[in-house]
Structure formats: C-alpha cells, structure tokens
Amino acid sequence: THQWLGVIEEYRDRLDLPENTPTITLREGGTPMVASDWLSGLLGAEVWLKVEGNNPTGSFKDRGMTVALSVAVGQGAKAVVCASTGNTSASMAAYAAKAGIKALVLVPQGKISAGKLAQAVVHGGQVIMVRGNFDDCLKISRQLAEEYPVALVNSVNPMRLEGQKTGSFEIVDFLGDAPDVHVLPTGNAGNISAYWKGYKEYLASGDSTRTPVMRGWQAAGSAPLVLGAPVPDPETVASAIRIGNPASWDLAMAAAQESGGAFRKVTDEQILAAQRELASQDGVFVEPASAAGVAGLLVEHAEGADLRGKQVVVTVTGHGLKDIDTALSTFTDLVDTVVDADVTAAARAAGLD
C-alpha cells in the first residue's frame, strides 16, 4: 500500500528547488477533501473542505515549512527564525527539531493561543515574546536574518510559497480539474498567493483546463487588503490572522485581480458562528481564523449570491484544538451536568427516561 511521502517527494518535479536539496519531512500534505453536505445543501453548490488541520502540526504551514527548512539546511543553516501568530512558529519548531537545528520564534506577547505556544516550546523552539503585534515581529525577524546567521522562513522566503502551492495540485488531482471558486482566510497573504501560483502552473502544464476565482476573507478588524491600506492596530478574535500589513500584499492583490476574485471581510461574530456551525454540521473542528472562509460563503449567500451548480473549495487552514479557549468561550450556555456514578442518574440527566 502506498503511504503519502510528503509534498517534496510527491511533487518534486513541480517544485523549483536548488540542486541537492535534502528532504526534511514529517509527511505533510495529502490532506482530505471532505464534502460539506451542510454548505452544499444550503448553497445548492458542490462544496469541498480542504482540511489542512490534518497536517502534522495541525495547519497548512507544514507544506511550506518542509520546503523552507529543507532548502535552509541544504544551504548550511544552523538556525531559523520566524515571526508568527502561532502556526508558523509551531510548524517551524517541529521541522527544525526534525532537522536538528535551532528555532527562534518571535510572537506578539499575549496574542497567540496556548496550544500553539505549547507546540513551539515542546519542539524545543526558543520563544521571544515581543511587546508589539505580528507586523513588528516580522520586521525584527527580517532584521535578525540580515544581521545574524539565522535563516528567515516566513512566507517572504519564496520557498514557503513553493511548498504551499501543492495545496492547489492536490485539489486539482482530486477533482480532475480546478474548481469554479476557491475560498480561504487571508492574513499575511502568503497562502492565497501560493494557491494562485499552483493553479496557474497546473493550467500552464495542461494538468487543468481552467483556474478558479480566488476569494480571500479577512477579519473586519484586520482587513488591510479590503481597505487598501495597512491597519496600524489590527484586532480580531481570530488571532492567526491578526495582521495589519501583509507581507505578500502585491502577490495577493494580483491573485484576486487576475482570477476575477476579491478580498472581503467578516466580523468576529460571523467567524465564531461559522466555526461552531462547521463543527456541529460537518464534524470538522477548525480554529477561528480557519472559519473565515466559511463565514464569507455564508455572508455571500445571505446577500443573495448565486453559487448554484458551482464547484467550490474552501481551505480550512488549522485545527480547532489549536485554540480551545476561544472555541469554548462561544458556549455561553455551556453547563456541566454532574451526576452520581449510577446509570439511572445518567439516564435521567440525559433525558432518556
């Protein structure tokens, strides 16, 4: 039986890598396409969820990190650095551990989830809390990489997008062609840029006959690509996408424009409602940021957009267990039911008798 080998081995001839690049992999990618019966029924469309929470560290970041770390190691790096809202750092720390090199993580103090922080720490990353936001952390990380012997593995490193574009390949390989519409949450804007690159490459090589419309959804308090200007003090409950000045601004704008798509925004309430619905209707638990695309689909449906008969793919970017505090905070009606260790008491409490 074939076991998925990770995105470098599966797509090596599609990746533009330096010669003699080693393969540092945790067998990332090969994530499931799950049919959303709920969204398909609601929209009259064929809606697929690309469930990126099934990656080794629980987010899509692993696709880019296997490539970025492999290339860095091939070039002799002994340490890597990144700024992060949590998932990039979790992924980088894991791949650096696998490679046996040092991981230096810069995160906005008090603004990343406990689960993601735990990942960076247990993988042996050195975590530096910055009194500032993600954009400040990225600026410092860039400077550190310029002035000290550490390799920057944020998505400004083109090797990250090179790996992340494999998400598109997997979708087309599965569906047989590109979908009509691709929806995803957008923060630092690397992922939408990578997906668009992948779709264009498959079209150019004849592996697909078309490219999808790309729709990126930002959180309302952190929506620079919607407003057309950086946001100095971004805010949102979706901490993964609390970013005011996306590094891949130009690439992302090009993706939206060339594909006939757009960037739009959803409120924190819409994000949390979509997260809860997705978990209870489809059995797919994602972190808040990852629900922004689903929230966007619901907004467009409510506005009267007609997606009937369309094939729609929604990338849900990270696992719900990354941030259980936020997930549970939406359950204001959550009341523990405590009973004696007794079947009658349990049945009565459950309303079964």
Q: Which residues bind ligand F0G (CB under 6 A)?
A: 59, 61, 84-88, 185-191, 240-241, 287, 289-290, 317-318
Helices then strands, counting H and E runs in the chain, come out as: 15, 10
E strand segments, 186-256 = 213-219
**CB of residue 59 vs ligand F0G: minimum separation in angstroms?**
5
Give the separation between CA 19 and CA 271, rounded to whole angstroms: 43
Which of 61, 116, 130 has the alpha carbon at shortest distance from 238? 116
Which residues face 316 on adjacent strands?
51
Q: Select 152 or 241, whichever has its Cβ closest to ligand F0G.
A: 241
Token pair listed for 33: 């396409």
Give the separation between CA 120 and CA 79, rounded to whole angstroms: 15
CB crowding 230-240: b at 16 or more within 10 Å, else e = ebeebebbbbb
- Sheet of strand 33-35: strand arrangement: 33-35, 46-51, 311-316, 181-185, 213-219, 262-266
Q: Select 25 or 222, whichever has its Cβ closest to ligand F0G.
A: 222
**CB of residue 178 vs ligand F0G: minimum separation in angstroms?**
20
**CB of residue 164 vs ligand F0G: minimum separation in angstroms?**
8
Q: Select 77 or 161, whichever has its Cβ closest to ligand F0G.
A: 161
Q: Select 29 or 86, whichever has its Cβ closest to ligand F0G.
A: 86
Token pair listed for 158: 């083109």
Q: Select 46 or 240, whichever has its Cβ closest to ligand F0G.
A: 240
DSSP secondary-structure letter at 100? Answer: T
**CB of residue 289 vs ligand F0G: minimum separation in angstroms?**
4
Q: Select 70 or 290, whichever has its Cβ closest to ligand F0G.
A: 290
| CA 9 remoteness from chain centre | 22
**CB of residue 12 vs ligand F0G: minimum separation in angstroms?**
23
